[in-house]
């Protein structure tokens, strides 16, 4: 019995059937971590002199309280699904891809080049082209760090950080010196031909006779959901997915089973980069309709939080992306209503969620497990 | 001749001023990473230091209290990192990332709420900034060619934190090569179980290391907002934490090479400012962005083994689990 308790403390509990129910691991503990992050965020709100409950209520209302707000929330959610999936597939291969930001940025370049090149074409062609080229650009930008890790032993975390900075520098150069709209002062390209814009959801549903309020939410939301399904099928139903997960679990065992870690590391990073690149489709083809500076605004980093909260599973990722979408939309609106609150409050909450859901994921595990074991033990003996 | 000397001196002066926060942050990470705790949260700790230094200096008028607040805030974050990575054996990269994002949001949020100036602190008056150290004999030496201008431009009137950084470099060299504490730190980053077997606490040593990291990043932040600058502005670290990390890797986790990497990166920055729009022979005008990305490209090439090999401390990034 004492030995059991000791094992529980060191974190073996989840592998033992019948002792701690599975939902504790994938639902209760993440919720506790989220709660801890929210409580601390509430303290920050108290420190800046507002009532946390009022702020929270307003935040939720402004994010999901009326149809137009929901559209905005889902528009943020779309990008977070892409970057969450991107971080997750790398995680499954045992890699930590911090480069989502740079990959999304270059993905936007790919989508944008299609938008600039195609004028007078039907939008479905442009959409397909943008999906293909943003995937290609994002994948290429991520595959290089993957290759460097697999073949040259560079540390992927460091190289992807460096690649974020290099991507930012390249994009600034391109937008300031090469792609800039002639005669313009601000570093951005000309607007694409409206015919190739990715239709917004209200327009698309309008064709079906369904009327919803206008918002930036566009068809790439459906593509994000499709990517979730494809992600699941690929990772758990194909041989390639199996190989990637095997390398992530135990590289030496993978080698023993005839699976090449190097090949799978590069593959996983390329897919990861392609997924992050789709942010460009949502932002550039769906909303901005031009390439501009810093349109990513931290989505790559939010993806880390989304993947951690969502336990690297597509269903979890959709839910976590929704949560962060609510925060992004609601948080932005709250800053209009409260003079002391600004947009960056959302980053505080994101940071705390990453801290508790990621780095301190086992903070409450011993206590919760002990609680269940005591109850379970009590029932067995009583 | 005198013009060339003056340009060289101004470049050197700019290099030193840009290099100081880099050296402080890179040496901060040196302690942590040599002890086996990866720290990509330098950026966040520096930013917190910069904000609290400026906020306290602004409200009390005393830059030294600001420096103390910066160190306190940064150490607090370092302890959070330690709590997650050492005590709870959490993912060190995730923890560092969380701290960066948290502070990137927290600093402007607090600044906005306290000072109502769009996420900045008020501009600090001269007496609320960390002082420069006046040395005697500037007039006496200025008549001497070469030595006079060198003394005037570089040595005299350097900020007190620049001197502190010089001391830190020498002290760090001594700590890591001569002191018992430094040898133990290095050991705990290479082979923690051996240190454990020798009856030393891995946990205790690593906490000491991350606290030193916190102190130094706090000073680096205070330099940015109360010595080099005159107040906190949003995103004022602007990637310097990551650049310091690059310098540490470029310096192969050793004090002197790390110092030279910091100086090299700072020099490219100083040169870039002077080269803006100036056509060079053969290549023409180099876009600023290409010079700015140089340190990052160099680090990638180094890590790939194209310019030598950078080997991290063997146990870095790995939480120590005592065998039962």
Q: How far is A316 from chain B (nearest CA, A)?
A: 18
**pLDDT recorded at residue A1:** 34
Which tokens hold the place of B219?
A: 């000073």
Give long-range contacts, CB 8 A cutoff, 24+ apart: A199-207: A199/A123, A200/A286, A201/A71, A201/A74, A202/A71
Chain B residues within 8 A of A148 when measuring between CB atoms: 300, 303-304
Give this complex's ipTM: 0.88
Nearest to B293 among A169, A308, A352 (CB): A169
Report B:260-289 residues touching A (Cβ under 8 A): 287, 289
Nearest to A162 among B98, B292, B300 (CB): B300
**pLDDT recorded at residue A7:** 37
For B80, the closest chain A residue by CA position comes to A355
Contact across the interface for A155 and B312, Cβ inside 8 Å: yes
Q: Please say if the pLDDT value at position A380 is more than 60.
A: no
CA–CA distance, B224 with B222 (Å, rounded to integer): 5
**pLDDT recorded at residue A11:** 41
Phi, psi of B124 (to 5 degrees): -85, 135
For B245, the closest chain A residue by CA position comes to A158
CA–CA distance, A43 with A20 (Å, rounded to integer): 32
Number of other CB atoms surrounding residue A180 within 10 Å: 17
SS3 A287: helix
Q: Please say if the pLDDT value at position B230 is more than 90.
A: no
Nearest to A44 among B80, B106, B293 (CB): B106
Q: How far is A71 from chain B (nearest CA, A)?
A: 25
**pLDDT recorded at residue A22:** 77
Q: Please say if the pLDDT value at position B3 is more than 60.
A: yes
Q: How far is A201 from chain B (nearest CA, A)?
A: 31
- Quick one: B48 exposed, middle or buried, by C-beta within 10 A (0-12, 13-18, 19+)? buried
For A164, the closest chain B residue by CA position comes to B296
Chain A residues within 8 A of B95 when measuring between CB atoms: 355, 358-360
**pLDDT recorded at residue B2:** 67
Closest CA to A218 of A324, A57, A8, A77: A77
**B89 close contact with A: CB closer than 8 A:** yes
Share above pLDDT 90 across residues of chain B, in percent, rounded to a whole number: 44
In this structure, are strands B132-133 and B158-159 parallel, antiparallel, or unpaired?
A: antiparallel
Q: What is the pLDDT of residues B58-69, one digit of tens each?
A: 999 899 999 999
- What is the 3-class SS of B77-132, one letter each residue? HHHHHHHHHHHCCCCHHHHHHHHHHHHHHHHHHHHHHHHCCCCCCCCCCHHHCCCE
**pLDDT recorded at residue A4:** 38
What separation in angstroms does the CA of B261 have from each of A155, A159, B11, B19? 19, 17, 16, 9
Chain A residues within 8 A of B83 when measuring between CB atoms: 360
Element (H, E) at B133: strand B132-133
**Burial code of A143-163, b = ≥16 C-beta within 10 A, e = fewer?**
bbbbbbbbeeebbbbbbbbbb
Select the more confidently predicted residue: A363 or B45: B45
Nearest to B303 among A154, A339, A351 (CB): A154
Half-sphere exposure of A134 (CA within 13 A, CB side): 31
Select the more confidently predicted residue: A375 or B98: B98
Q: Please say if the pLDDT value at position A6 is more than 60.
A: no
Q: How far is A309 from chain B (nearest CA, A)?
A: 12
- Taken in order B256, A145, B241, B262, the sign of the CA dihedral is positive
A292: DSSP letter = B
Closest CA to A76 of A199, A206, A224: A224
Chain B residues within 8 A of A172 when measuring between CB atoms: 289
C-beta of residue B111 within 8 angstroms of C-beta of residue B120: yes
**pLDDT recorded at residue A376:** 65
For B288, the closest chain A residue by CA position comes to A173
Contact across the interface for A161 and B289, Cβ inside 8 Å: no
C-alpha triplet A255, A258, A264: angle, nearest 5°: 70
Closest CA to B119 of B111, B127, B130, B129: B111
Share above pLDDT 70 across residues of chain A, in percent, rounded to a whole number: 93
Q: How far is B5 from chain A (nearest CA, A)?
A: 32
C-beta of residue A187 within 8 angstroms of C-beta of residue A172: yes
Mean pLDDT of chain A: 88
C-beta of residue B42 within 8 angstroms of C-beta of residue B221: no
Contact across the interface for A358 and B312, Cβ inside 8 Å: no
C-beta of residue B252 within 8 angstroms of C-beta of residue B310: yes
**B292 close contact with A: CB closer than 8 A:** yes
Phi, psi of A137 (to 5 degrees): -65, -45
Share above pLDDT 70 across residues of chain B, in percent, rounded to a whole number: 94
Q: Please say if the pLDDT value at position A280 is more than 60.
A: yes
**Burial code of B146-183, b = ≥16 C-beta within 10 A, e = fewer?**
eeebbbbbeebebbbbbebbeebbeebeebbeeeeebe
For chain B, give the longest Cα–Cα distance: 72
**pLDDT recorded at residue A346:** 87
Nearest to B305 among A152, A169, A341 (CB): A152
Cα-Cα-Cα-Cα torsion B145, B151, B154, B158, nearest 10 degrees, comes to -160
Q: At what angle do helices B202-222 and B2-34 cross, to 10 degrees?
A: 150
Q: How far is A137 from chain B (nearest CA, A)?
A: 19
A364: DSSP letter = S
Q: What is the pLDDT of residues A45-68, one digit of tens each?
A: 998 888 899 999 999 999 998 889
Nearest to A158 among B89, B114, B303 (CB): B303
Whether the model clears a pTM of 0.90, i.e. scores above it, the answer is no
Give long-range contacts, CB 8 A cutoff, 24+ apart: A261-264: A261/A150, A262/A150, A262/A151, A263/A150, A264/A93, A264/A240
Contact across the interface for B97 and A304, Cβ inside 8 Å: yes
SS3 B305: coil
**B294 close contact with A: CB closer than 8 A:** no
Residue A43 CA to its chain's centroid (Å): 26
For A47, the closest chain B residue by CA position comes to B110
SS3 B158: strand
Chain A residues within 8 A of B97 when measuring between CB atoms: 98, 301, 304, 354, 358
| CA-based radius of gyration for chain A | 22
**Burial code of B209-246, b = ≥16 C-beta within 10 A, e = fewer?**
bbbbbbbbbbbbbbbbbbbbbbbbbbebbebbbbbbbb
CA–CA distance, B95 with A98 (Å, rounded to integer): 13
Report B:118-177 residues touching A (Cβ under 8 A): 119
Band (pLDDT 50/70/90 cuts) for residue A297 is: confident
Contact across the interface for A169 and B97, Cβ inside 8 Å: no
For A150, the closest chain B residue by CA position comes to B304
Contact across the interface for B303 and A172, Cβ inside 8 Å: no
Which of A195-209, B71-85, B302-316 is predicted with the least confidence, judged by mean pLDDT?
Answer: B302-316
**pLDDT recorded at residue A377:** 58
Q: Please say if the pLDDT value at position B144 is more than 80.
A: no
Contact across the interface for A165 and B293, Cβ inside 8 Å: yes
| CA-based radius of gyration for chain B | 21
Q: What is the pLDDT of residues A190-233, one digit of tens each?
A: 999 898 999 999 888 888 888 888 899 999 999 999 999 999 99
**pLDDT recorded at residue B6:** 80
For chain A, give the longest Cα–Cα distance: 82
**pLDDT recorded at residue B54:** 93
Place of tokens 């979890």: A316
Task: Provide mean pLDDT across the span B169-198.
Answer: 91
Chain B residues within 8 A of A304 when measuring between CB atoms: 94, 97
Q: What is the pLDDT of residues B194-228, one digit of tens each?
A: 888 888 889 999 999 999 999 999 999 999 999 88
Q: What is the pLDDT of residues B20-38, one digit of tens each?
A: 999 999 999 999 999 999 9
C-beta of residue B222 within 8 angstroms of C-beta of residue B66: yes
Band (pLDDT 50/70/90 cuts) for residue B39 is: very high
**pLDDT recorded at residue A303:** 93
Size of interface A-B (CB pairs under 8 A): 158
Mean pLDDT of chain B: 87
**pLDDT recorded at residue B323:** 66
Q: In sequence order, what are the beta bridge partners of A292?
A: A188
Contact across the interface for B94 and A348, Cβ inside 8 Å: no
Please list, in sequence order, all residues whose beta carbon lies within 8 angstroms of the beta carbon of residue A285, skipping any fewer than 6 positions away: A111, A112, A114, A115, A126, A127, A130, A192, A196, A197, A198, A218, A220
Q: Please say if the pLDDT value at position A30 is more than 90.
A: no
**B200 close contact with A: CB closer than 8 A:** no
Q: What is the pLDDT of residues A69-78, one digit of tens each?
A: 999 999 999 9
B229: DSSP letter = S
Which tokens hold the place of A211?
A: 């009327």
Place of tokens 């005159």: B230
Q: What is the pLDDT of residues A320-351, one digit of tens each?
A: 999 999 999 998 888 888 877 888 888 898 89
C-beta of residue A325 within 8 angstroms of C-beta of residue A303: no
């Amino acid at each position: 019995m004492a030995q059991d308790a000791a094992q529980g403390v060191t974190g073996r509990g989840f592998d033992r059937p019948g002792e701690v129910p599975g939902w504790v691991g994938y639902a209760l503990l993440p919720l506790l971590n989220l709660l801890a992050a929210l409580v601390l965020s509430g303290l920050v709100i108290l420190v800046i002199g507002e009532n946390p409950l009022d702020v929270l209520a307003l935040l939720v209302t402004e994010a999901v309280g009326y149809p137009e707000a929901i559209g905005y929330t889902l528009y943020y959610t779309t990008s977070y699904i892409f970057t969450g999936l991107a971080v997750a597939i790398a995680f499954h291969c045992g890699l930590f891809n911090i480069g989502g930001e740079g990959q999304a940025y270059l993905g936007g370049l790919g989508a944008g080049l299609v938008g600039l090149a195609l004028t007078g074409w039907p939008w479905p062609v442009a959409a397909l082209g943008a999906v293909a080229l943003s995937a290609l650009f994002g994948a290429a930008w991520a595959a290089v760090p993957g290759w460097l890790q697999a073949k040259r032993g560079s540390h992927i975390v460091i190289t992807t950080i460096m690649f974020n900075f290099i991507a930012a520098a390249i994009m600034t150069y391109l937008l300031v010196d090469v792609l800039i709209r002639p005669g313009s002062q601000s570093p951005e390209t000309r607007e694409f031909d409206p015919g190739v814009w990715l239709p917004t959801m209200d327009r698309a549903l309008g064709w079906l006779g369904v009327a919803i309020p206008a918002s930036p939410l566009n068809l790439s939301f459906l593509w994000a959901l499709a990517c979730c399904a494809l992600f699941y099928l690929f990772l758990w139903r194909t041989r390639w997915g199996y190989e990637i997960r095997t390398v992530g679990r135990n590289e030496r065992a993978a080698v023993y089973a005839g699976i090449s870690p190097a090949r799978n590391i590069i593959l996983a990073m390329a897919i990861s980069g392609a997924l992050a690149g789709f942010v460009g489709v949502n932002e550039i083809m769906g909303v901005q309709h031009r390439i501009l500076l810093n349109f990513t605004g931290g989505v790559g980093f939010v993806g880390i939080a989304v993947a951690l909260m969502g336990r690297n599973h597509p269903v979890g990722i959709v839910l976590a992306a929704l949560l962060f979408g609510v925060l992004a939309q609601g948080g932005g609106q709250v800053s209009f209503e409260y003079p002391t609150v600004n947009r960056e409050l959302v980053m505080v909450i994101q940071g705390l969620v990453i801290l508790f859901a990621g780095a301190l994921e086992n903070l409450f595990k011993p206590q919760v497990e002990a609680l269940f074991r005591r109850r379970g033990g009590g029932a067995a003996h009583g | 001749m005198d013009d060339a000397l003056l340009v060289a001196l101004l470049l050197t002066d700019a290099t030193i001023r840009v290099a100081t926060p880099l050296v402080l942050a890179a040496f901060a990470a040196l302690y942590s990473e040599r002890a086996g705790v990866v720290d990509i949260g330098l950026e966040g700790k520096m930013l917190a230091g910069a904000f609290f230094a400026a906020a306290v200096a602004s409200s009390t008028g005393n830059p030294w209290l600001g420096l103390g607040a910066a160190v306190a805030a940064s150490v607090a974050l370092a302890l959070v990192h330690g709590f997650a990575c050492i005590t709870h054996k959490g993912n060190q990269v995730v923890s560092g990332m969380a701290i960066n994002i948290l502070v990137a949001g927290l600093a402007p949020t607090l600044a906005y709420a306290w000072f109502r100036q769009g996420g900045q602190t008020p501009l600090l008056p001269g007496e609320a900034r960390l002082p420069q150290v006046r040395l005697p004999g500037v007039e006496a030496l200025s008549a001497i060619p070469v030595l006079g201008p060198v003394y005037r431009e570089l040595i005299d009137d350097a900020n007190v934190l620049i001197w502190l950084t010089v001391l830190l470099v020498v002290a760090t060299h001594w700590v890591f090569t001569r002191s018992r504490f430094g040898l133990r730190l290095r050991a705990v980053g290479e082979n923690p179980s051996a240190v454990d077997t020798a009856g030393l606490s891995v946990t205790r040593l690593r906490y000491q290391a991350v606290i030193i990291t916190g102190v130094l990043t706090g000073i680096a932040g205070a330099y940015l907002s109360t010595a080099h600058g005159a107040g906190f502005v949003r995103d004022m670290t602007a990637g310097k934490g990551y650049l310091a990390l690059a310098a540490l890797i470029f310096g192969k986790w050793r004090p002197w090479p790390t110092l030279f990497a910091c100086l090299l990166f700072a020099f490219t920055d100083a040169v870039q400012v002077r080269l803006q729009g100036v056509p060079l022979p053969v290549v023409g005008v180099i876009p600023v962005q290409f010079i700015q990305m140089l340190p990052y490209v160099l680090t990638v090439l180094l890590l790939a083994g194209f310019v030598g090999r950078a080997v991290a401390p063997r146990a870095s990034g790995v939480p120590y689990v005592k065998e039962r």
